[in-house]
Amino acid sequence: MDTTVSTDPNNITSGRPLLVGPSQPEPPYPIFVSGNVVQGFGRGGKQLGIPTANLPESAVAAALQNIPIGVYYGWAQVQHGEVRPMVMSLGWNPYFKNEKRSGEVHIIHGFAEDFYGQEMRVAILGFVREEKDYKSLEDLVADIRFDIRVALKSLEREAYLKIKDDQFFS
């Protein structure tokens, strides 16, 4: 089974694996964090076309106690709704030159409305890639879109699917 994209050196995702992580989550995963969705920088949906829900700083600090800055995959839930796949950036977002760390969760679902102030629960299950800077906004968006594909593929495995039913999401 082919698990990488093309080897075109001009493609930002060239050589990246489509499936990441072991066959089941291994320590320090899963990492469970929650908090009310806070206003972010307003870039995800508007500038990137990839809406994000931002975790409060306390949740970001809790998540980063056991893992480095980077991009992760797992499951997320808003206000006891359906548990959905997510990809999450934990870090500084160097392309935008952030001055504080953020936890930006892209829940892979088309929501009709924003949900600021609502509780979001996140199960971080694995590492996708390190955080990096980009030459262009197009490269950033291409990498995020590939991160989404990686998350969906990596979450298909039975041990990862089971975590959707964890009592954390009850």
pLDDT confidence tier of residue 1, bands split at 50, 70 and 90 = very low
Average the pLDDT over 131-158 and give the result: 92
Residues annotated as catalytic are: 104
pLDDT at position 45 is: 54
Buried b (16+ CB within 10 A) or exposed e, 85-97: bbbbbbbbbebee
Cα distance between residue 12 and residue 46, in whole Å? 22
In angstroms, the CA 58 to CA 34 distance is 9
Beta strands in 21-101 (DSSP E): 31-36, 53-54, 70-78, 84-91
Spatial CB neighbours of 169, under 8 Å, sequence gap ≥ 6: 75, 77, 80, 83, 121, 123
Q: pTM, whole model, 2 decimals?
A: 0.88
User: What DSSP character marks residue 165?
Assistant: G
Which amino acid is it at 1? M
pLDDT digits (tens, 9 = 90+) for 71-88: 999 999 999 999 999 999
